């Protein structure tokens, strides 16, 4: 975890402190904060009419011909399930046995497909687990809906309007892992 503290007085910086080896010039990994950024981008895509809403079914937003481990509950998964981490798939970053944990997904060439191929262990919307793969799925849904990669959509619709220049952030984007920041 990175930590920075800064204080201003009368509009002037009087103290700035960085911890854990970070500095103003060193890019920091956001990790789980990326979930909030991607959720915000999904909301922007909904507001722009590119996505129909949080109740949109996820599988029709994808371009895969089929999925492993067929289960009728997969067809019921919505954006809301993925945004709330209650997708029902066996995807738990904090479980050493979950086939969908991030360390397992790292070995996959396509996180989105690997996540959607996971077995169902709950009905969508019933139990929530921290699932980085689910964030990648939402990122892909955004990309498919807006016809832009997530970093470009973020700059045009979130960071740019907030006054955050492209030179001040880096998104290590890989199309199959569309949400790594």
Per-residue pLDDT reduced to its tens digit, 4-58: 566 778 888 787 777 777 777 777 777 778 899 999 999 999 999 999 999 999 9
Quick one: CATH architecture of 31-168?
A: 3-Layer(aba) Sandwich (3.40)
Cβ contacts of 130-133, under 8 Å, gap ≥ 24: 130/32, 130/85, 130/92, 130/93, 130/94, 131/85, 131/87, 131/89, 131/91, 131/92, 131/93, 131/100, 132/93, 132/102, 132/105, 132/179, 133/89, 133/91, 133/100, 133/102, 133/105
* pLDDT tens track for 123-162: 999 999 999 999 999 999 999 999 999 999 999 999 999 9
Whole-prediction pTM value? 0.85
């Amino acid at each position: 975890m990175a930590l920075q503290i800064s204080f201003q007085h009368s509009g002037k910086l009087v103290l700035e402190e960085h911890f854990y080896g970070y500095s103003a010039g060193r890019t920091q990994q956001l990790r789980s904060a990326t979930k909030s950024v991607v959720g915000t981008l999904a909301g922007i895509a909904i507001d722009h009419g590119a996505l129909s809403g949080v109740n949109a079914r996820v599988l029709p937003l994808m371009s895969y011909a089929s999925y492993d481990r067929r289960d009728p509950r997969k067809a019921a998964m919505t954006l809301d399930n993925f945004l709330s981490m209650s997708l029902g798939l066996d995807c738990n970053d904090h479980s050493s046995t979950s086939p969908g944990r991030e360390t397992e997904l790292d070995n996959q060439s396509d996180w989105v497909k690997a996540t959607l191929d996971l077995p169902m262990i709950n009905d969508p919307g019933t139990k929530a687990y921290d699932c980085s793969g689910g964030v990648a799925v939402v990122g892909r849904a955004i990309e498919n809906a807006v016809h832009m990669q997530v970093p470009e959509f973020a700059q045009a619709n979130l960071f740019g309007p907030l006054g955050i220049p492209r030179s001040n952030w880096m998104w290590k984007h890989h199309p199959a892992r569309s949400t790594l920041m």
